[in-house]
Homo-oligomer: A and B are copies of this chain.
């Protein structure tokens, strides 16, 4: 059972049934997000959209993405401080990020749902997110070439205080 954002046609129907209008801008963005699996930023979508519809506004891209998120048709992903990325994959899944090129890939993590935090017994937990940081094969090659290996986590002094 794989859950994704609805098809453009289905979304059009949903929009109409909610009294919202099905504009060309929205339809285009429905297409661009549907089946999109690269977790694009608003700017990236804006660039793609502009190619097919010169004059479309970045504001409209943000608005539509926010709408879809409110409707539960896509998710926001915030990783590492960069711009928000959008995900039409509504399944229970997680992400790997390449610390070199920034690409984000979907991954399944068996056992993630079973994770439990120690030290937050007074919280009602709602959901869990797992993010792996690493280097993709393509970037790994570039690294090999330029000699630099996967960087140590703490390049600084090693003497740590044990407490």
Contact = CB atoms under 8 A, between A and B. Distances in A.
A132 B125 contact: yes
Q: How many copies, total?
A: 2
Contacts of A80: 78
A133 B140 contact: no
A131 B128 contact: yes
Given A122-B136, A132-B127, A73 B156 contact: yes
Interface residues of A, number: 65
Nearest to A82: B78
Contact of A96 (B120, B135, B161): B120
A109 B115 contact: yes
A6 to B, nearest CB: 6
Given A3-B160, A133-B127, A161-B4, A107 B117 contact: yes
A23 interface: no
Contacts of A134: 120, 123-127
Interface of A: 1-4, 6-7, 10, 14, 70-73, 76, 78-81, 84, 90, 94, 96, 98-99, 105-112, 114-120, 122-137, 140, 150, 153-157, 160-163
A119 B1 CA distance: 17
A149 to B, nearest CB: 10
